[in-house]
């Protein structure tokens, strides 16, 4: 069994609460005053709202940008069909926002057959929990000495892979209950180029090098115990396209319009690439923005500051290779709902 109490990085419910983000997570677009153009009077306009749901991890202007792009796309579709532009109507489409839903929630949260389009970017690589076997000292999957699965043994990475597939399948199953006939879903998450799950690509370089070494520093300096380190694991899995495809096809509710690996950029934003201190700070900030709340919950604010200061110093000492090597790849999926009954 997995260890209980203080040695566990964070409970499943607490993990969800820590990772939840405030933002515009649902939008419904409706205008009852939309009029048909003369050449399209024989075609009946939809009477129900066109409902768009953003499942994260957008917040603030990011959510507005995404929903704005969707509205513009739908406006073009209406115009292509001969209807008047939504922007030319006497009243603008209304919007409603729900901001309390957990951004990577896998269970159903909306009524059956109520959603036209789901959008989710950079949420689905988060696992619902660290697999119990990874925290179990008696298990072959116990991730001793490490805080991420990059470079871990195959038992550990297979446990993460199994958890990812289970979570993604649950996500698709829940969305299939909520989606209207002919609905669509657009998903983006971290991916990897290697078929070997022990190679987590950009995520591995972010959490499996200087971040990992900083945890080892805390142990060697006597600030935390080995057990405390070993019971912290980043609940992120960068999937291969094949893993992703297998889950979609096995679950069976969605057809694949497009599924590909897209080369993104570096998570490190620096103005002066030759400034080692700036590079070190950028990497520490990237790690903190992704996992800071988990680190704080596990070792407290003070030790968290100690950890990230060591990440910063270590990354600064290897600034050039850090900038050259760290690169993210993203899985992009366009899906159509095919199983409405």
The reported pLDDT for the residue numbered 243 is 96
The reported pLDDT for the residue numbered 61 is 74
CA pair distance 21, 340, nearest whole angstrom: 30
| φ, ψ for residue 64, nearest 5 deg | -60, -40
Q: Tell me how far the alpha carbon of residue 75 is from its chain's centroid.
A: 28
CA pair distance 130, 152, nearest whole angstrom: 14
Q: Report the predicted TM-score, pTM, of the whole model to 2 decimal places.
A: 0.81
Contacts with 93 (C-beta within 8 Å, 6 or more apart), sequence order: 29, 30, 31, 71, 86
3-state secondary structure 186-198: EEEEEECCCCCCC
> Could you read off the pLDDT tens digit of each residue along the chain, which spans 341 residues?
444 444 444 555 555 555 554 343 333 333 333 333 344 343 455 567 788 888 877 666 777 788 888 888 888 887 888 776 555 543 445 555 444 444 444 556 666 788 999 999 999 999 999 999 999 999 999 999 999 999 999 999 999 999 999 999 999 999 999 999 989 999 999 999 999 999 999 999 999 999 999 999 999 999 999 999 999 999 999 999 999 999 999 999 999 999 999 999 889 989 999 999 999 999 999 999 999 999 999 999 999 999 999 999 999 999 999 999 999 999 999 999 997 65
Tokens 């060591």 label which residue? 310
* Packing angle of the helix pair 276-317, 12-19 (nearest 10 deg): 160
Do the beta carbons of residue 147 and residue 215 sit within 8 Å?
A: yes
Tokens 């990874």 label which residue? 134
Strands 115-121 and 179-191: parallel
Q: What is the CA radius of gyration of the chain?
A: 22
CATH, domain 5-20+102-337, list 1.10.1200.220, 3.40.190.10, 3.40.50.300, 1.20.120.450: 1.10.1200.220
Reading the block at residue 210, the tokens are 């200087």
């Amino acid at each position: 069994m997995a260890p209980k109490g203080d040695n566990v990085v964070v409970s499943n419910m607490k993990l969800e609460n820590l990772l939840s983000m405030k933002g515009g997570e649902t939008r419904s677009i409706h205008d009852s005053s939309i009029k048909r153009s003369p050449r399209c009077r024989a075609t009946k306009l939809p009477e129900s709202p066109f409902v768009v749901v953003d499942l994260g991890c957008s917040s603030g202007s990011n959510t507005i940008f995404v929903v704005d792009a969707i509205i513009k796309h739908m406006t073009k579709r209406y115009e292509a069909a001969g209807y008047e532009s939504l922007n030319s109507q006497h009243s603008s489409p209304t919007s409603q926002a729900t901001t309390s839903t957990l951004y990577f929630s896998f269970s159903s949260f909306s009524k059956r057959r109520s959603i036209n389009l789901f959008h989710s970017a950079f949420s689905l690589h988060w696992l619902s929990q660290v697999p119990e076997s990874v925290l179990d000292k008696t298990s072959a999957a116990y991730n001793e000495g490490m805080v991420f699965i990059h470079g871990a043994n195959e038992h550990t990475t297979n446990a993460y892979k199994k958890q990812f597939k289970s979570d993604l399948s649950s996500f698709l199953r829940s969305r299939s209950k909520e989606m209207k006939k002919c609905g669509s879903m657009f998903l983006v998450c971290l991916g990897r180029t290697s078929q070997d799950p022990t190679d987590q690509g950009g995520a591995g370089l972010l959490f499996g090098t200087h971040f990992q070494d900083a945890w080892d520093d805390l142990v060697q300096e006597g600030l935390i115990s080995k057990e405390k380190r070993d019971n912290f694991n980043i609940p992120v899995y960068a999937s291969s396209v094949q893993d992703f495809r297998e889950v979609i096809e096995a679950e069976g509710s969605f057809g694949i319009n497009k599924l590909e690996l897209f080369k993104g950029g570096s998570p490190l934003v620096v103005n002066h690439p030759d400034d080692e201190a700036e590079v070190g700070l950028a990497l520490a900030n990237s790690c903190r923005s992704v996992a800071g709340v988990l680190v704080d919950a596990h070792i407290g604010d003070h030790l968290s500051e100690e950890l990230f200061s060591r990440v910063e110093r270590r990354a600064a000492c290897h600034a050039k290779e850090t900038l050259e090597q760290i690169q993210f790849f993203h899985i992009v999926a366009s899906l159509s709902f095919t199983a409405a009954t």
